[in-house]
């Protein structure tokens, strides 16, 4: 029944999605204003969703041009559906213009098809189809649309300052069947704050070190610039041997008397750094073999003492595991050093329910003072969890199973979705187990089958939650 309903709307779904995909809704702080708090692109995408909602007879509410909602239904309780229309930058290497959607026989190719414009349109059409069916709503629906999910979540921070918290809800920004728990997430810097003068002339001086740009990615490139006083050839040979022994790619060149060493690693999402190869930590491991200047020596030694080969916080004294949510993970996503300002490690830490985060951080901060480092803590998002046996979760999963015959259980992840904004929220689709995940990558696409099947599942799930009871 549900799939047949969606079939009647397939052309409309694709056309509305194409219009949304054509908007380059990348955050642009240089062009931000009061009317466009994270830039004109995200604002334009938000307005686009209002336009199609008004066309279809829905009411909307705008919240300072950074978030808003489309309203449907009636009743005391509210189902929240949290979507976002901002996207990450396109990057290079696409086979087509990432903001000129290509529609093939089987798929739609453009930035945002998977994350999160495709799922947003799927959820919107599930609501629209039910409205067209003139169902007897038992709950209100707030389809909440954000414009800063890919960066700082300014959108939802602002929205929930003044707007009603939904009774329950889901974010169509992950995978089926259902993600019912997410680890706590924080970023913090370990800053080298104690500099010492060298008493003796060092053999080698670390001029600069750079690896990684994002806290939530394993760095796949690292570069060190080293002033070598003598034995340049020996250092290069030792470096080549180090690369070979550790099965790494890298290079060494000389630039105006400065030895430039590079290491290539393997970039993966910071939620599981153990499956990546951290180029920065490996290059620091090699530098530890050199008689460096005091400040660089302290920086390199700190990395080996606390960070290298410690993806689960073991060396930081933070190893912790639960059967439901898994392990603490520590990703060293940004590493910088220069001989005037010393060094910094930027860390993305994720932790399960039950981990005593504040206690662990206080102990660690006190411990590292003796090595000339301090902790500068960023935003902390506590773990988010809804029991998978909750009737709300079970209704979502039942809708998925009815249409796929896939009995996979709901699960928890190390990543973070919009669902954690809700008091009672989960992530629900729109990716299937056989979907190719090109989120944040070149040639991102969604198959028509995935788009329409997700719409159909959302249709049944929303009906079950908001009409039947």
Out of 116, 148, 149, 182, which one is annotated catalytic? 149
Using CA atoms, how far apart are residues 79 and 75, in angstroms rounded to an integer?
10
Using CA atoms, how far apart are residues 240 and 230, in angstroms rounded to an integer?
18
Instruction: Clarify whether 149 is annotated catalytic.
Output: yes
Using CA atoms, how far apart are residues 148 and 85, in angstroms rounded to an integer?
8
| Angle subtended by helix axes 10-21 and 40-55, to nearest 10 | 160
Provide the 10 A C-beta neighbour count for residue 424.
17
- CA dist 134 → 16, 182, 288 (Å): 22, 36, 70
| Angle subtended by helix axes 232-245 and 279-287, to nearest 10 | 140
Of 396, 387, 391, the residue nearest 81 (C-alpha): 396
Using CA atoms, how far apart are residues 201 and 205, in angstroms rounded to an integer?
9
Instruction: Clarify whether 86 is annotated catalytic.
Output: yes
Out of 86, 116, 173, 327, which one is annotated catalytic? 86
Contact 80, 426 (CB under 8 A): no
Contact 193, 412 (CB under 8 A): no
Of 229, 214, 61, the residue nearest 151 (C-alpha): 214
Rounded to 5°, angle at Cα 89 from 87 and 92: 140
Identify the H or E element spanning 281.
helix 279-287
Residues belonging to the active site? 86, 149
């Amino acid at each position: 029944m549900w799939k047949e309903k969606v079939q009647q709307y397939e052309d409309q779904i694709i056309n509305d999605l194409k219009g949304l995909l054509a908007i380059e809704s990348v955050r642009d702080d240089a062009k931000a204003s009061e009317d466009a708090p994270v830039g004109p692109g995200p604002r334009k995408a938000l307005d686009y969703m209002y336009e199609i909602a008004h066309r279809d007879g829905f009411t909307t509410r705008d919240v300072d041009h950074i978030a808003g909602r489309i309203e449907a239904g009636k009743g005391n309780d509210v189902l929240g559906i949290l979507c976002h229309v901002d996207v990450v930058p396109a990057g290079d290497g696409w086979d087509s213009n990432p903001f000129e959607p290509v529609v093939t026989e089987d798929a739609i190719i453009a930035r945002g098809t998977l994350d999160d414009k495709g799922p947003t349109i799927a959820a919107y059409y599930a609501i629209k189809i039910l409205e067209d069916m003139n169902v007897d709503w038992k709950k209100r629906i707030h389809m909440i649309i954000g414009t800063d999910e890919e960066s700082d979540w300014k959108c939802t921070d602002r929205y929930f300052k003044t707007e009603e918290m939904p009774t329950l809800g889901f974010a169509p920004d992950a995978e089926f069947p259902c993600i019912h728990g997410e680890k706590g997430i924080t970023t913090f810097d370990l800053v080298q704050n104690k500099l010492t003068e060298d008493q003796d002339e060092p053999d080698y001086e670390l001029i600069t070190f750079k690896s990684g740009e994002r806290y939530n990615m394993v760095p796949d490139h690292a570069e060190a610039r080293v002033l070598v006083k003598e034995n340049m050839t020996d250092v290069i040979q030792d470096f080549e041997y180090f690369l070979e022994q550790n099965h790494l790619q890298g290079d060494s060149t000389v630039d105006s008397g400065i030895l430039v060493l590079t290491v290539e690693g393997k970039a993966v999402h910071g939620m599981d750094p153990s499956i990546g190869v951290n180029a920065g930590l490996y290059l620091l491991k090699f530098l530890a073999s050199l008689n460096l200047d005091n400040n660089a020596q302290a920086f390199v030694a700190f990395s080996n003492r606390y960070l290298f080969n410690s993806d689960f916080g073991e060396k930081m004294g933070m190893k912790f595991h639960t059967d439901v949510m898994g392990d603490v993970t520590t990703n060293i996503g940004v590493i910088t050093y220069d001989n005037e300002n010393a060094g910094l490690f930027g860390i993305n830490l994720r932790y399960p329910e039950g981990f005593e985060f504040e206690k662990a951080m206080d102990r660690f901060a006190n411990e590292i003072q003796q090595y000339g480092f301090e902790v500068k803590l960023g935003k902390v998002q506590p773990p988010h969890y809804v029991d998978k046996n909750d009737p709300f979760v079970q209704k979502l999963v039942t809708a998925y199973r009815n249409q796929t015959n896939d009995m996979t259980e709901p699960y928890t992840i190390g990543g973070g979705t919009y669902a954690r904004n809700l008091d009672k929220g989960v992530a629900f689709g729109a990716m299937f187990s056989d979907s190719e995940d090109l989120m944040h990558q070149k040639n991102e696409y969604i198959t028509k089958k995935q788009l329409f099947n997700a719409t159909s599942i959302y249709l049944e799930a929303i009906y079950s939650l908001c009409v039947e009871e």
